[in-house]
Chains A and B, each alone.
Chain A
Amino acid sequence: MIEWPLILGSGMLGAAHCLGMCGPFALAVGAASPTWRANLWRQGWYSAGRVFTYAVLGSTAAFGGRWLTGRLGPWANIPALLALVAGGFLVVQGLLAAGVLPRKGVGGIAACPGAAAFKALLGGRATSDVFLAGLFTGLLPCGLLYGMLALAASTGSVLAGLATMVIFGLGTVPAMIAAGLGGSVLGVATRQRIHAVAAWCLVLTGVVSLARGAGGLSWGSEPAPGCPFCGPEPIQAGP
């Protein structure tokens, strides 16, 4: 798919946006480790947890998209519509990040009974704790993530959706690890510049998705063939 390099880029550069929310978590993960090597190990597992969740969410979204296609296929080209939704979402997210659209203040995370457990996992000694902390971090609400999930939903194939989110997740890894290792690898000015590039990268991904969606919007046309396992026929949603 043409978007994949762009998705990777969005992840890599978009992570500058992620650091606002997830950066402190990465720091908390690293706080317990005595050496930078140990920290790197923990950061790696933390990111692995996140990417794992993204992958599951991606496959879920893709299955959802596929299910919708199966149900509504005769009436509408669902993948194309989803690609349009994803594109729109990503463009808006990109423009927000670039500062072209005004950003509304973000409310605090609602008090959640699991918060204490999450905190304990972040500082946990065991590698499994850090991995699980990453797994739950992946579930935190994030606009960028939703945009990517919409994109995954539009792929129409569980494996492609999964791949989309894994690629996006891998893209976020370097910045998150850097943040967890000490954060100050890049200066503020550099980070701002990267942030701006990332924002436009998002917009570009969105535009490509929009174009793909618009191209597929010829009513009744054959949905684009995906991987060998997900043929173009309508699919039954489970037993």
Chain B
Amino acid sequence: MISTRPADRPCACHYCGLPVVGGSADEPRFCCSGCRFASAITAAGGADAQARWMMTRLGIAIFFSMNVMVFTFLLWSQPEGEAAGGTAAAAALYGLARHASLLFSAPVLLLLGGPLAENAVGEVRRGRLTLDLLLVIGVAAAFGLSAYATWLGEGHVYFEVACMVLLAVTLGRWLEAQGKLQTTAALRDLESLLPDRVRLLTPSGECEVALADVGVGDRLRLLPGEHVPTDAVIRSGTAAIDERTVTGESEPAVKGAGDSLHSGTTNLDGELVVDVVAAPGAGTLERLIEAVSTAVETSGSRRLADRVAAWFLPLVLVVAVATAAVHWWRSGAAAGVLAGLAVVVVSCPCALGLATPLALWAAIGRAMRRHVLVRDGDAFERLARAGWICFDKTGTLTTGCRLERMSATEPDEALAMAAGLARGSTHLASAAIAAAAGEQGLAAIDLEDVRSIPGCGMEGRWSVREVTVRLGSPRWILAACGTDQTWPRCAESIAGTDETAAPCSCLLAVGDQVVAGFWLAEEVRPVAAAAVAGLQARGAEAMLLSGDQAARVAAVAMRFDLPWRAGLMPADKLAAIAELRGSRGVVMVGDGINDAPALASADVGVALGCGADVSRWSADVCLLDDDLGNLPWLVDLARATSRTIRWNLLWAFGYNAACIPLAATGLVHPAVAAAAMVASSLFVVGTSLRLANDESPTTEPHATAGAAAASQGVELVA
């Protein structure tokens, strides 16, 4: 249903979850009468009797309509001119058929017309004019004219029009609602992770309350197997927490007192007492769901469809009334009503309104099932036509480092000093150095004022000797210490990696004296090669953009057969992206935190390691489980989505543009118009459903992941 006030506050349909305009919190709103109807049929919990009744109501209406159909066929078989002059028995039979049609169509009018009229009147009360109103008026007019003709005993009857239109509209909308329900299923699956009721601990004991009644600061008890209802901090107890839904992390995290919990995660094995830190509705999972919902709302093609829909309804109203008036004037009341009704029935605002959001919902839901979170609906469109896919190296194509070799006059002291700097950073090289120190049982030397210099390294103050200590890229260290230093002999290559002639990965300097060099081995992400190859096979050009040293970047790039640029500062990455951006757009794949500016400036930013807090994400797409293998699949999905949206819009515009004028000529029987409208809606729902369920846009990264990993192993870059 299209509202005449599209600027109203959006909320979700009570049944299918699609956005509805102009909702209020105190009453459930539905996006169409189909959802209202379907919701009544499937309403659970206490409303079972009513659900039964709605179903029986539909069934009885179908039964009566079928009867009306038979009588109508009988009437239509009546040879012209024979009604008056035929046998008395024939005349009596035709009279009987007309009265029987009246008798059988009246219940249909009440059973199916009732809810439709209720819907239309409700919308009128809210100040919105809908096509349902015209539909109800048209059907009532067709019925009234026919009843009058039956009473007079002459003239045509159109009982079948009333029945067929009501039946087709109701059935069509019901099926449509089912389709919509399926496309938004993924999001509801997420919502279902939040429990309805929680155990509240109060000074007087424990009681069960509705989640909505919980506030910040309340204390809850969580049993093993239960979902975390909202963001909270553990007060007491220890448990393994499955955070897959929120962070994509497949290994459960063990959490104890003081650790924070995200809503939607699962307490696997311990009993916990937690303090609520976010009001229900403001937790991590809810913010995630909201981010996804907004993705559909803000889509450009969605806004286009909304703009069109805003003038579509008035247009149909005018055409329908004009058609009715012209045909009434030329061929009588019945022809006018039928033609006007045909225009209303054949027009399909649903197709227009649903063309984009349904496809986007389907695609976003599908992506979410693979732990790919899309925050911007338009990202699909841009991803579909992107020409360049740029990768960051560290943390994206490679997963981590380990210390392969170091060279120093005082190795233990140098490593302990390096660890003192490294523990202040999350950079992979730092992590490797800190880990190596830990493995050798060395305690990190305490340093003061440790800070990170973006793109360069770490520096701090060693109070014992009152000097500045630096750990970082040789370029930076040598510049800071004076370029005449040759220690250590960086050009020296490690046996077996002669083609790279790799210099050491990073240097440690105490004061202006370089004291140690570290060679780090980089591990390549297992499915990265398959992902890059998959993207190249799809016609996209890939490039490696890294802030790291040229030799190390070159070594990784060679493994993937990629062009590369090294030594890029964050601003250089932006420049590189701007340079590559042609007509087809650039996708940047990188670390969610470190590459934030590049991710935000690219046409589509795809982030790994996004973390749980959705509000801090700078990328349009987030690979929650850091699986690069999903990238080619995502490009396929984006292309399929973009294609589906185009087809849906083309269909919706084409169908309405072709059928409304045709119906206005008076040549289309309203029952046929109803069938066409149902077919049109189902076409749009069907293509989107195929997008939601079809497994065709898939790739095989997971099948080849093992082989790729085995062939690559550990990459030595130092």
Question: Residues of A with Cβ closer than 8 Å to B?
Answer: 52-53, 55-56, 59-60, 62-63, 66, 113-114, 117, 120-121, 124, 126, 128-129, 131-132, 135-136, 157-159, 162, 228-231, 233, 235-239
Measured between beta carbons, the chain A residues less than 8 angstroms from B52 are 120, 124, 126
Distance of A236 from chain B, by nearest CB (Å): 6
* Contact, CB under 8 Å: A229 / B76: no
Chain A to chain B contacts (Cβ below 8 Å), 17 pairs: A52-B63, A53-B66, A59-B70, A117-B41, A120-B55, A121-B59, A124-B52, A135-B62, A135-B63, A158-B73, A229-B77, A229-B78, A231-B82, A233-B79, A235-B77, A238-B76, A238-B669
Interface residues on B, range: 20 to 34
Question: Counting CB contacts under 8 A, is B212 at the interface?
Answer: no
Q: Which of B63, B69, B70 contacts A132 (CB 8 A)?
A: B63
B175 contacts A158, C-beta separation under 8 Å? no
> Does A128 lie within 8 Å of B59, measured CB to CB?
yes
Contacts of A231 in B (CB 8 A): 79, 82
The residue of chain A having its C-beta at the shortest distance from the C-beta of B51 within the complex is A120
| 7 tightest A-B CB contacts, nearest first | A113-B178, A132-B59, A63-B73, A238-B76, A56-B66, A59-B70, A239-B156
Assess the A63–B76 pair: CB atoms within 8 A.
yes
Q: Contact check, B59 vs A158: say whether CB atoms are below 8 A apart.
A: no
A52 to B76, CA, bound (A): 20
Q: Does B56 contact A (CB under 8 A)?
A: yes
Render B138-180 as a binary contact track against A, CB cut-off 8 A, 1 for contact. 0000000000000000001010000000000000001100110
Q: Which residues of A contact B175 (CB under 8 A)?
A: 113-114
A234–B7 CA distance with the chains assembled, in angstroms? 57
Residue of B nearest to A236 (CB): B80
Contact across chains for B156 and A230 when beta carbons are under 8 A apart: no
Q: Contact partner of A159 among B66, B74, B174, B669, CB < 8 A?
A: B74
A158 — which chain B residues lie within 8 A by C-beta?
Answer: 70, 73-74, 77
A235 to B81: give the CA distance in the assembly, Å.
11
B658 lies within 8 A of chain A by Cβ: no
Would A237 and B76 count as touching, CB distance under 8 A?
yes
- A64 CB to closest chain B CB (Å) equals 9
Taking CB as reference atom, which chain B residue is nearest A61? B73
Contact of A129 among B56, B70, B72, B93 (CB under 8 A): B56
Name the residue among A117, A120, A131 with the largest chain B CB count within 10 angstroms. Answer: A117
Partner of B77, one of A53, A55, A66, A136: A66
- B84-120 residues with Cβ-Cβ distance < 8 A to A are 87, 89-90, 93
A108 to chain B, nearest CB (A): 16
Residues of B within 8 A of A121 (CB): 55, 59
Docked Cα-Cα span, A233 to B79, in Å, equals: 7
The reply to whether A157 and B77 contact each other, CB–CB distance below 8 Å, is yes
Query: A126 and B56: CB pair below 8 A?
Result: yes
Asked whether any CB of chain A lies closer than 8 Å to the CB of B442, the reply is: no
CA–CA, A132 and B74, complex, Å: 24
With a cutoff of 8 Å between Cβ atoms, the chain A residues found around residue B77 in the complex are 63, 66, 157-158, 229-230, 235
Per the bound structure, the CA–CA distance linking A236 and B70 in Å amounts to 16
Q: Could you tell me the distance in whole angstroms from the C-beta of B651 to the nearest C-beta in chain A? A: 21
Q: Are A128 and B56 neighbours in the complex by a CB distance under 8 Å?
A: yes
Task: Please measure, in the bound complex, the distance between the C-alpha atom of A126 and the C-alpha atom of B49, giving whole angstroms.
Answer: 12
Say if the beta carbon of B60 comes within 8 Å of chain A. Answer: yes
CB distance from A114 to the nearest CB of B (A): 8
A113–chain B nearest beta-carbon distance, Å: 4
Is A132 a contact of B56 with CB atoms below 8 Å?
A: yes
Q: Tell me whether chain B's interface is mostly helix, strand or loop, or mixed.
A: helix
Contact between A135 and B76, CB atoms less than 8 A apart: no
Asked if A59 contacts B63 (CB within 8 A), the reply is no
| B41: chain A residues within 8 A (beta carbon) | 117
Shortest Cβ distance from A125 into B: residue: B52
Chain A residues within an 8 Å CB radius of B669: 238
Smallest beta-carbon distance B465→chain A, Å:
75
Q: Indicate the member of A113, A131, A136 with the most B CB atoms within 10 Å.
A: A113
Residues of A within 8 A of B67 (CB): 56
| Chain A contacts for B156, CB-based, 8 A | 239
Assembled-state Cα–Cα distance A239/B72 (Å): 11
| Bound-state Cα–Cα, A236 to B67, Å | 21
Instruction: Among B70, B78, B89, B90, point to the contact of A56 (Cβ < 8 A).
Output: B70
Beyond A128-B60, A135-B59, A158-B77, is A228–B89 a contact (Cβ under 8 Å)?
A: yes
Chain B residue numbers with a CB within 8 Å of A237 are: 76
Q: Give Cα distance in the complex from A156 to B77, angstroms.
A: 10
Which residues of A are found within 8 Å of B66, using beta-carbon distances?
52-53, 56, 135
Looking at the assembled complex, report how far the CB atom of B692 sits from the nearest CB atom of chain A, in whole angstroms: 13
Complex CA distance for A231 and B55, rounded to whole angstroms: 41
Q: Which residue of A lies closest to B157 (CB)?
A: A239
Residues of chain A within 8 A of B179, CB atoms compared: 113
* Contact between chains at A55 and B59 (CB < 8 Å): no
Min CB distance B84 to A, Å, is 14
Residue of A nearest to B338 (CB): A239
- Enumerate B213-260 residues with CB–CB distance to A below 8 Å: none
Specify the chain A residue showing the minimal Cβ separation from B81: A233
CA distance A132 to B669 in the complex (A): 28
- Which chain A positions have C-beta within 8 A of B78? 229
Distance in angstroms between the alpha carbons of A2 and B77 in the assembled complex = 24
- Complex CA gap A129/B87 in Å reads 41
Q: In the complex, given contacts A113-B174, A235-B79, what are 17 additional A-B residue pairs having Cβ atoms less than 8 angstroms apart?
A: A53-B66, A56-B70, A59-B73, A60-B70, A120-B52, A120-B55, A121-B59, A128-B56, A128-B59, A132-B60, A132-B62, A132-B63, A229-B93, A231-B79, A231-B82, A235-B77, A236-B76
Question: Which of the listed residues A62, A124, A235, A238 has the most CB atoms from chain B within 10 Å of its own CB?
Answer: A238
Residues of B within 8 A of A120 (CB): 52, 55
* A236–B81 alpha-carbon span in the complex (Å): 11
Determine the chain B residues whose CB is within 8 A of the CB of A114 once the complex forms. 175
CB distance from B83 to the nearest CB of A (A): 11
Q: Which residues of B contact A132 (CB under 8 A)?
A: 56, 59-60, 62-63
Residue contact A60 to B69, C-beta cutoff 8 Å: yes
Residue from A131, A135, A157, A229 having most chain B Cβ neighbours under 10 A: A229
Contacts A132-B56, A229-B93: A60 and B73 contacting too (C-beta < 8 A)?
Answer: yes
Chain A: CB-nearest residue to B669: A238
| CA–CA, A124 and B48, complex, Å | 12
B33 to chain A, nearest CB (A): 16
Most chain A beta-carbon contacts within 10 A, residue among B41, B62, B79, B158: B79
- Complex Cα gap A162–B66 (Å): 12
Q: Please report the C-alpha to C-alpha distance between residue A230 and residue B78 in the assembled complex, in whole angstroms.
A: 7
B73 contacts A117, CB within 8 Å?
no
Chain A: CB-nearest residue to B70: A59
**Contact pattern, B 552-568, Cβ under 8 Å of A = 1, otherwise 0:** 00000000000000000
Check if A162 sits within 8 Å of B82, measured CB to CB: no
* Complex interface: chain B residues within 8 A of A239 (CB): 156, 158
Q: How far does the alpha carbon of A55 sit from the alpha carbon of B69 in the complex, in Å?
A: 11
Bound-state CA distance A124–B51 (Å) is 12
Mark out the residues of chain B between 643 and 666 whose CB falls within 8 Å of any chain A CB in the assembled complex.
Answer: none
CA distance A236 to B82 in the complex (A): 13
Q: Which residues in B have their C-beta under 8 angstroms from that of A59?
A: 69-70, 73-74
Q: Are A229 and B74 in contact (CB under 8 A)?
A: yes
Q: Which residues of B contact A228 (CB under 8 A)?
A: 87, 89-90
A238 / chain B contacts, CB cutoff of 8 Å: 72, 76, 669
Contacts of B174 on A, CB cut-off 8 Å? 113
Minimum CB distance partner of B75 in chain A: A238
A139 to chain B, nearest CB (A): 10
Q: Which residue of A lies closest to B335 (CB)?
A: A239
A230 and B79 alpha carbons, distance in the complex (Å): 7
Contact A55 B79 (CB under 8 A): no
Closest Cβ of chain B to A54, distance in Å, is 11
Q: Which residue of B lies closest to A53 (CB)?
A: B66
List of A residues within 8 angstroms of B62 by Cβ? 132, 135
Q: Please measure, in the bound complex, the distance between the C-alpha atom of A74 and the C-alpha atom of B631, giving whole angstroms.
A: 64
Interface core residue of B52, B59, B62, B158 (most chain A CB under 10 Å)? B59
Of B41, B63, B67, B156, most buried by chain A (CB within 10 Å of CB) is B63
